[in-house]
Chain A
Amino acid sequence: MKIPVPPVLRGSSSGAALWIYVALYLIFLYLPICLIPLFSFNDSVQAAFPLKGVTLGWYRTLFQEEGIHSALWTSLEVGVFSAALATLCGVTVSYASVFMKSRFANLLSYVARLPILIPGVIIGIAMLIMANLVGIGPSVPAIIAGHTLVGLPATVMVMQGRFASFPRSIAEAAEDLGAREWTLVRRVLLPMAVPAVGSAFMLAFLTSFDEFIIAFFLSGPHPTLPVYIWGQLRFPRSLPIVMALGSLILAVSVVVSILSEALRRRGQAT
């Protein structure tokens, strides 16, 4: 005899299966990443279970390494400058595409989001050819230009979302009161968009800080942190130091992206 299952119960059992899948998926997503900090404290050159004991030794070695200091400095320099440029472009391009309603502005906003559709290797070689043509060659300014480019899509998307969420009436009211466009931007739109600008800057900084392939093509004598790590991956003995360094980089990424998300939400709430 078949016992009819009430649809509510059936729904909840398939719902439970779905939630279990989501939980497993999140484990799949996070477990490999969590191994890096785990093994960075492990007292062994090999990254294998069972763990051999807790040590801070790899971190100590890390802070004494000259190459890491200069790579960190290069990464910060590249990150801050490229994020500033990408944010400037992101804000102006989004403003133009949302408020100016011209074909050229729309074209620019499309082109600015283009880098997301191009494999990193191709952006890398395009920038390398460009840098050699201009005469600066592989160098820190070349990496800054390349990273500005890959930071653009994120800044444009964040700022367009923010500007598009402004009620039209604000701009109209300001115009009716005789405010010039610049006054409107400076006194009304920018103050309202400050959290989003901060969020865009942080995302562009993160994109640059973590970016490898473009920096790999454009690194001259001063590698960024990811390029430095790439160079160390060849040596099995330096793997624990790479993991210690990687843990710190992961921590920076997580903190900055949480801050950026918090800013973005605060911006939406007002």
Chain B
Amino acid sequence: MIPARTVVPDVRSLVFRCLMLLPGAVMGLGLIVFSLGLVVFLAFRHNDGSVLGAGWTWSNFQTILTDPLYAQVALRSVMIAGTATAATVLAAYPVAYCIALRGGRWRSLLLFLVTLPFWTSYLLRVFAWKIVLAYNGVFNSVLVGSGILHAPSLAFLNTPAAVVVTLAHAYAPFAILPIYTALEGLPRSLLEAASDLGARPWTTFRRVVLPASVPGVLTASMVVFIPTLGDYVTPALVGGPRSIMIGSLIQMQFGRANDWPFGAALAVAVMLVVAGGMVLGRKLSVGRQG
């Protein structure tokens, strides 16, 4: 009797643990890993109109590497996403700094205010920029109304610059939070020690604050760069034909062009660039610490 009693709870706890792992396993391995695996699988298939394609091939990747159109779009995507990332992180840095080190009792309110837009519709935020930048939009009507311009300008909407500004607006919380987290952990005594030792504010910033924030800046750069690289909505709404990015090309393969394997290959290429960026980011942050 006694051994049986000690065995029963063990079996129960085993069943319990398996049950606790089940939803995550179904979702994580069954859906996330499997569906991404499908994309990679499809990238190496011929397009015959069926879901999984036919026969194995490298030709999708050969097209991407040899057709100058794709190199051009890829380069443009990296340039726009890179510029947007730099702009977002630079503009966000002073805000994160201020909230983390000078926030005082306003800190949690400010943090909430900068993250709130993130929880509103991305599509609507991009659409808002279309209203701002359009030919008969807000920016033009203010400029004409105040006499700075004589007639509305077409120079704002449908440019790569419009994409960069819109992305910097849309991904602001992504940049602020990691930098804030890195700076928040900075001991206040370190700053006081620096100023007691006679360091000017700028020197304190350059020698104490900036190095401490590097991991946060790298994380921020990654979490902004990754989604902007594959973005579809912003180039489509405010970018115009000169800002077609890789996300639009992928969408086209699954829409009008109806070449799923090629679209999958483009997606794999994007994921490789993302992975490369992450490895680089990790290397940089490890190099800083070591």
**Is there a chain A Cβ closer than 8 Å to B271's Cβ?**
yes
B127:A112 contact, CB within 8 angstroms = no
Find out whether the CB atom of A36 lies under 8 angstroms from the CB atom of B264.
Answer: no
Cβ of A226 within 8 Å of any chain B Cβ, yes or no, is yes
Instruction: Kindly state the separation between the CA atoms of A14 and B22 in the bound complex, as whole angstroms.
Output: 54
- Shortest C-beta distance, B36 to chain A (Å), equals 5
Instruction: Specify which chain B residues have a CB less than 8 angstroms from the CB of A109 in the assembled complex.
Output: 24
- Residue contact B21 to A96, C-beta cutoff 8 Å: yes
Interface 1/0 per residue, A25-45 and B, CB below 8 Å = 110111011011001000000
1/0 per position for A153-196, CB-CB distance to B under 8 A? 00000000000000000000000000011100000000000000
Q: Which residues of A contact B208 (CB under 8 A)?
A: none
For B232, give its contact among A118, A120, A206, A254 (CB under 8 Å): A120
Chain A facing B: main interface SS: helix
A122 close to B230 (CB less than 8 A): yes
Among B25, B35, B125, contact of A126 (Cβ-Cβ < 8 Å): B35
Q: In whole angstroms, what is the CA distance A182 to B20 when docked? A: 10
Secondary structure of the B side of the interface?
A: helix
Tell which of B13, B23, B274, B278 touches A93, judged by Cβ atoms closer than 8 Å: B23
Among A22, A36, A132, A226, the most chain B Cβ lie within 10 Å of the Cβ of A22
Q: Is the CB of B119 within 8 A of A125?
A: no
Complexed CA–CA distance, A217 and B138 (Å): 32
Whether A93 pairs with B24 at a CB distance below 8 angstroms is yes
Residue A95 at the B interface, CB < 8 A?
yes
Query: Judging by beta carbons under 8 Å apart, are A46 and B136 in contact?
Result: yes
Q: 0/1 per residue, B221-233, Cβ < 8 Å to A?
A: 0010011011111
CA distance A148 to B28 in the complex (A): 11
B241 at the interface (CB under 8 A from A): no
Pick from A54-62, A66-74, A100-108 the stretch touching chain B.
A100-108
Q: Which residue of A lies closest to B142 (CB)?
A: A49
Are B22 and A92 closer than 8 Å at their CB atoms?
yes
| Interface presence of B149 (CB below 8 A) | no
Do B27 and A129 touch (CB < 8 A)?
no
Give the number of residues in B that approach A within 8 Å (Cβ atoms).
84
Contact count band on A: 35 or more
B27–A148 touching, CB < 8 Å: yes
Q: Decide yes or no whether A263 CB sits under 8 A from chain B.
A: no
Of B27, B137, B141, B169, the most chain A CB neighbours within 10 A belong to B27
Kindly list chain A residues whose C-beta atoms are within 8 Å of the C-beta of B237. 233
Given A93-B23, A116-B223, A117-B274, does the pair A130, B134 have CB atoms closer than 8 Å? Answer: no
Determine the chain A residues whose CB is within 8 A of the CB of B9 once the complex forms: 180
- Asked if A253 CB lies within 8 Å of chain B CBs, one says yes
List which B104-133 residues lie within 8 A (CB) of chain A: 110, 112-114, 116-117, 119-125, 127-129, 131-132
Q: B121–A226 contact, CB under 8 A? A: yes
A145 in contact (CB, < 8 A): yes
Q: Is B220 an interface residue (CB 8 A)?
A: no
Do A22 and B95 touch across chains, with their CB atoms under 8 A apart?
yes
Q: Which residue of B lies closest to A209 (CB)?
A: B121
Q: A33 to B254: give the CA distance in the assembly, Å.
A: 31
A residues within 8 A CB of B21? 92, 96, 100, 104-105, 108
Answer yes or no: A7 CB below 8 A from chain B CBs.
yes
Give the contacting residue for A128; candidates B36, B98, B254; CB below 8 A: B254
Which residues of chain A come closer than 8 Å to B116, judged between CB atoms?
A: 254, 257
- Pairwise interchain contact A89-B230, C-beta atoms closer than 8 A: no
User: Can you list, as one digit per residue, whether each of B187-207 has a CB less than 8 Å from chain A (1) or not (0)?
Assistant: 000000001000001000000
Contact code string B12-43 (vs A, CB < 8 Å = 1, else 0): 11001100111111011101111110110010
Please give 12 more A-B residue pairs, beta carbons under 8 A apart, in addition to A211-B122, A250-B121.
A26-B114, A47-B134, A89-B24, A89-B28, A104-B21, A120-B231, A122-B36, A122-B270, A125-B39, A126-B267, A210-B121, A233-B237
> 3 closest Cβ contacts across the A-B interface?
A119-B230, A93-B24, A111-B28
